[in-house]
Structure 1
Amino acid sequence: MDKQRLSGCIKSTATLIAGAIIYSIGTQCLISPANIAPGGAVGIALMFSYLTNLPVGGLTLMVNIPLLILAWFFLSHRFAIRTGITCIICSSFIDLIVAPYFPMYGGDRLISSLYGGIVIGVGMALIFLAGSTTGGSDIAGYLLRKKWPHISIGRFLMMIDGIILSSSVLVFHDIDAALLGLICLYAETKVIDMILYLSSASCKVLIVTQHPQQICTQIIRNIERSATIISGKGAYSGDDTNVVICTVRKSEFSDLKKINEAADENAFVMVTETNQVFGLGFRNFSEAIS
């Protein structure tokens, strides 16, 4: 069990570092030279960097610090710590490794925005697979939803990124900045979705196990979601068993896999991609017709 946990920890750390490096390359080498701000904390940092010539990584961390403090008090200590560590790693890679030693792309801005979005999307997907996020809009979206729970996180993210894209026109004095930023954001989102469950925002997981309560306890404690336990009987063996039903977001699935592997290596797991989920922690039922 200890070896399994150690192996999982090493794998997660390696995935996080790989994602942070790829994310940093896309941001510094492709997006920064094109003078576009594709949403999120890094978009704000890119605009301030353009105005002040300060390093992008340090500015990104400065933008995230107040959000992380709010996340500590109003969301989850675990989420704030994990996201904070990721922010520090990404910011350090941007300023200390990528900026001094990697070449900057100086070609067509359309190519820069498109491939920048693809590269950043790959990096963010790996970070999600490691069970973390890059902060920024994600934190702001969750915080705003605490205040206005009837509005979905997706809509909050659209509003936040829309404000950042609109502001980039004023900062860069170029309407193309917003249009190219939108292309970058679209490419980034599509790549993340393609890597994580082929465009599904969430997934439904059915776990046939002899240890349902242990799995559910860890789901509640570590992912901060709930689950449903259904009693069943094996058709072939005739033995009593249990089925745990849980729905999680794409960035939370790697944590659920670790929980299941640690609790019951012999569990039978079925994963179904879900395009829409309504209910507590996801979208409201009123949004089904919007």
Structure 2
Amino acid sequence: TVSCFIYAVGISLFLDPNRLAPGGVTGIAIIINNITDFPTGTLVLIINIPIMVIAVLKLGFKLFVSSIYALIISSFAINLLAPYGPVTDDLLLASITGAVLVGVSIGLIFRAGATTGGADIIVKLLRLRFKHIKTGRIFMISDGIVVAISGFVFKNINVALYAGISVLIQSFVLDLVLYGTDGARLLYIISDNENDIAERFMKELDVGVTYLQGRGAYTSKNKKVMLCAMRKQLLPRARGIVLQHDENAFMIVTSANQVFGEGFRRHDSIDL
């Protein structure tokens, strides 16, 4: 319920009264509202009816129940708060603040296993098909289409550009709420002194090390490849340890968006 009202604050007090359509069904409703004066919250509810039917068929009744609740509450809250907007006429402030509020609220609603309907349902369906694409990225693409339409309808490029800024910020905040910032690094190390390095990693850095079996294509020699995940703050010390034992060590460092297990996130963390 709180998340739904946060969502409504972002829409009714910042985005809608400034004609900033942040994409999705809500963005479409904002465009129609500014043309017809029909309440945005009611439009959101009406447009979502056929989409919610699809939700029942494709995503199950449980999601439908939680989503219809979030949809009704957020639609009601949007209409309730509409007379109090806008809080600011500054398009930049409105786009940033509104996007942060909407991004946080949608992220919290998603983590609770529900949606606000509309594009959220469509995004969940797309995520079932394209699991490698982040939720916020899908939102950004679909929302960009609505933003372009808003610029054409309102005949105001500035409104469209600020709405675009809003979409980018909303996408970033949404991914931040959903996936967090583990700040982890994944290390692959090939060295002739792997045992000494692994021992110091475990003792001094308190991190686990896994040996993978590798084989050099050029030398045809078998090699142990060290695999290790650690917090990014430990990376300088880790590199120092490696160089102390082998200045010619081969090391690959990559960013790990999510790491589950001891020392990192629990396995019961919600992944959408």
TM-score range, shorter chain: 0.5 to 0.7
C-alpha separation between the residues in 1 aligned to 2:154 and 2:181? 32
1:33 aligns with 2:17: yes
Q: 1:175 aligns with which of 137, 157, 160?
A: 157
1:84 aligns with 2:68: yes
Which contiguous aligned blocks of 4+ residues in structure 1 show a shift greater than 4 angstroms?
148-156, 268-271
TM-score by length of 2: 0.61
**Unaligned runs of at least 5 residues, structure 2:** 183-257
C-alpha separation between the residues in 2 aligned to 1:171 and 1:83? 30
- In structure 2, the CA distance between the partners of 1:55 and 1:48, relative to structure 1 (3 Å rule), is same
Matches within 5 A, 1:65-214: 65-95=49-79, 97-100=80-83, 102-143=84-125, 152=133, 154=135, 156-199=138-181
- In structure 2, the CA distance between the partners of 1:165 and 1:103, relative to structure 1 (3 Å rule), is closer
C-alpha separation between the residues in 2 aligned to 1:123 and 1:113? 15
**Unaligned runs of at least 5 residues, structure 1:** 1-16, 201-249, 251-267, 275-280, 283-290
Deviation at 1:26, TM superposition (A): 0.9
- In structure 2, the CA distance between the partners of 1:117 and 1:270, relative to structure 1 (3 Å rule), is same
User: Is residue 118–residue 188 contact of structure 1 (8 Å, CA) maintained in 2?
Assistant: yes
Structure of larger gyration radius: 2
Matches within 5 A, 1:220-239: none
What's the % identity of the aligned pairs?
33
C-alpha separation between the residues in 2 aligned to 1:157 and 1:194? 14
**How large is the RMSD of aligned CA atoms in angstroms?**
3.1
TM-score by length of 1: 0.58
User: Is residue 57–residue 90 contact of structure 1 (8 Å, CA) maintained in 2?
Assistant: yes
Residue type matched to 1:130 in 2? A
Residue type matched to 2:19 in 1? N
- In structure 2, the CA distance between the partners of 1:199 and 1:132, relative to structure 1 (3 Å rule), is farther
1:53 corresponding residue in structure 2: 37
Number of residue equivalences: 192
- In structure 2, the CA distance between the partners of 1:150 and 1:28, relative to structure 1 (3 Å rule), is closer
- In structure 2, the CA distance between the partners of 1:72 and 1:51, relative to structure 1 (3 Å rule), is same
